[in-house]
Chain A
């Protein structure tokens, strides 16, 4: 395992476990330093040996390499706890979920052989990176800042070969991100529960 990918794997572990923990314990309010200390502790936990590897490596065996998209979503969820305003509000994130789901539909059925066209192959072609870099400023200007940043950071990570893969798709999305996008879409489609209103007096 290369040093850069070791960092990638351990960062993924910290972000995944940290995000889950902070979501589960959202009623416990800690000072900013408390959240930072918790992340450091999780980082140390990731280096604990488990089943012949460290915990981060064990999780990596199940999740595989997380994409830049997943890492960005996790970072955006954690930054406010650290007192950092990410400058990307909810409106600037909304467009990303349908896009990730559509990309998942383009990629995964093909990769599993349901269609004979192999769309994964496109990710080896630098042409795809140029398309991403061309679209990125457009999304940025359209105030879909998460998509703009995600596209540029994904191409940057791919060109630097920070992960295990030489394929740009692996830096853009992963199955967990597409599953999260599907859940987001289903929540949008399901009828919203009406908000409870107080009993009106006579």
Chain B
């Protein structure tokens, strides 16, 4: 007998079947975009270049942290970081500023979003904001991924995203990425996204609740999360930083967590980040602090890190051929007890220059520009 329930059931079953038939199939991550593993060669100059800047005035806001950088297709550099009265405070906002290479100065920082604006745009209560990662894709769209928390501490984080179609000057409304079935909590972002072919993106993230491990999100060209892959099977490594070496091969570098040895941890993937092997400790010390790694013009790894087993009072650059054995090239900061220089974020800019941003004493974001000649002179 065709009751109302039978009609509802048959209708839903038929509609679901038809729509499921047209649903896009799950596909493995495509190879990395060529720009990721084979950066365009740049003109090397023999003249060392080293410049340094502060992005924000001291104490405005009182506390800043977690800077990131990206380069637009025209070579302009944009930075994003969070700042407020203290980390985790309700007044923390996401700031951005632009670097004018001709004038050699940073623009006045502006607030992209804050807790109240994000709450309104997401239509849900947001208690605090955290780590932002800014990224310009090959079409010139600028993506801002940042951490939001509704309930609890950082382990209750989820990732929110905004996009700008005009070089980071005007931003879309915020949207959430749903990355976990458990109330969508405990996914944080820190590392740089990686472009894939077909305009897809890999976003390295990490999980902090109960167990700590790295994951990578596969996002399509419309920023829909279409798959994710676990990067570590031991609960001791967070804040992955992925460095592609070929169309399908990549290494990842991690901040140690839990009982892991006080070393930068490393593992590799041979299938565009779908499967990752076991973690190995490198010989580079790590106090439980973020690292940032890129490849230099000759394919060697260049890492910005805290070269200590505890504390974040020093910041340095190191170089490696295999990612496991590191040679320290240059001390960037040599502080004393109580100082903090942390959360480096390293990118390649135009003209053979490297750009590094990091947290300086939790009070300012510091930006360094240097080139290969300066690195070689330093070593």
Shortest distance from the beta carbon of B344 to any chain A beta carbon, whole Å: 27
Cross-chain contact of B151 among A61, A65, A87, A120 (Cβ < 8 A): A61
Contact check, B26 vs A118: say whether CB atoms are below 8 A apart: no
Query: B interface, how many residues as a size bin?
Result: 35 or more
CB 8 Å contact bits of B122-164 with A (1 = contact, 0 = none): 1111100000000000000000000000110000000000000
Most chain-B Cβ atoms within 10 A of its Cβ — which of A108, A137, A167, A175?
A: A167
Q: Inside 8 A of A159's CB, which chain B residues have their CB?
A: 16, 19-20, 23
CB 8 Å contact bits of B101-129 with A (1 = contact, 0 = none): 00000000000000010011111111000
Q: How far apart sit A118 and B180, CA to CA, in the bound complex (Å)?
A: 11
Q: How far apart sit A166 and B8, CA to CA, in the bound complex (Å)?
A: 24
CB 8 Å contact bits of B149-184 with A (1 = contact, 0 = none): 011000000000000000000000000101011111
Q: Is B305 an interface residue (CB 8 A)?
A: no
For the residues of A in contact with B, the DSSP-based class is helix
Stretch among B47-55, B77-85, B221-229, B244-252 lining the A interface? B221-229
Query: A interface, how many residues as a size bin?
Result: 35 or more
Shortest distance from the beta carbon of B145 to any chain A beta carbon, whole Å: 16
Q: Is A38 an interface residue (CB 8 A)?
A: no
Contact check, A137 vs B126: say whether CB atoms are below 8 A apart: no
Contact check, B210 vs A112: say whether CB atoms are below 8 A apart: yes
Q: Inside 8 A of B181's CB, which chain A residues have their CB?
A: 107-108, 111, 120, 123, 167, 169-170, 173-175
Q: Is A21 an interface residue (CB 8 A)?
A: no
Q: Inside 8 A of B35's CB, which chain A residues have their CB?
A: none
- Closest-by-CB residue of A relative to B233 is A116
Contact check, B122 vs A1: say whether CB atoms are below 8 A apart: yes
Shortest distance from the beta carbon of B287 to any chain A beta carbon, whole Å: 23
- Closest-by-CB residue of B relative to A84 is B4
Q: Inside 8 A of B120's CB, which chain A residues have their CB?
A: 52-53
Contact check, A160 vs B227: say whether CB atoms are below 8 A apart: no
- Closest-by-CB residue of A relative to B118 is A52
Q: Is B15 an interface residue (CB 8 A)?
A: yes
Contact check, B9 vs A149: say whether CB atoms are below 8 A apart: yes
Q: How far apart sit A167 and B225, CA to CA, in the bound complex (Å)?
A: 9
Q: How far apart sit A148 and B225, CA to CA, in the bound complex (Å)?
A: 28
Enumerate the 5 nearest inter-chain pairs by beta-carbon distance, A residue then B residue, closest first.
A113-B211, A159-B19, A61-B125, A165-B178, A1-B123
Given A87-B3, A155-B19, 7 other A-B contacts at CB below 8 A? Answer: A57-B119, A58-B124, A112-B210, A137-B13, A140-B9, A159-B23, A170-B178
Q: Offer 5 A-B interface pairs, CB within 8 angstroms, sorted by A.
A: A58-B124, A63-B183, A114-B210, A123-B181, A125-B26
Listed in ascending order, the chain B residues whose CB lies under 8 Å from chain A are: 3-5, 8-9, 12-13, 15-17, 19-20, 23-26, 116, 119-126, 150-151, 176, 178, 180-186, 207, 209-213, 224-230, 233, 235
Listed in ascending order, the chain A residues whose CB lies under 8 Å from chain B are: 1, 6, 9, 51-54, 57-58, 60-65, 86-88, 107-108, 111-114, 116, 118, 120-121, 123-127, 129-130, 133, 136-137, 140, 145, 148-149, 152-153, 155-156, 159-160, 164-167, 169-170, 173-175
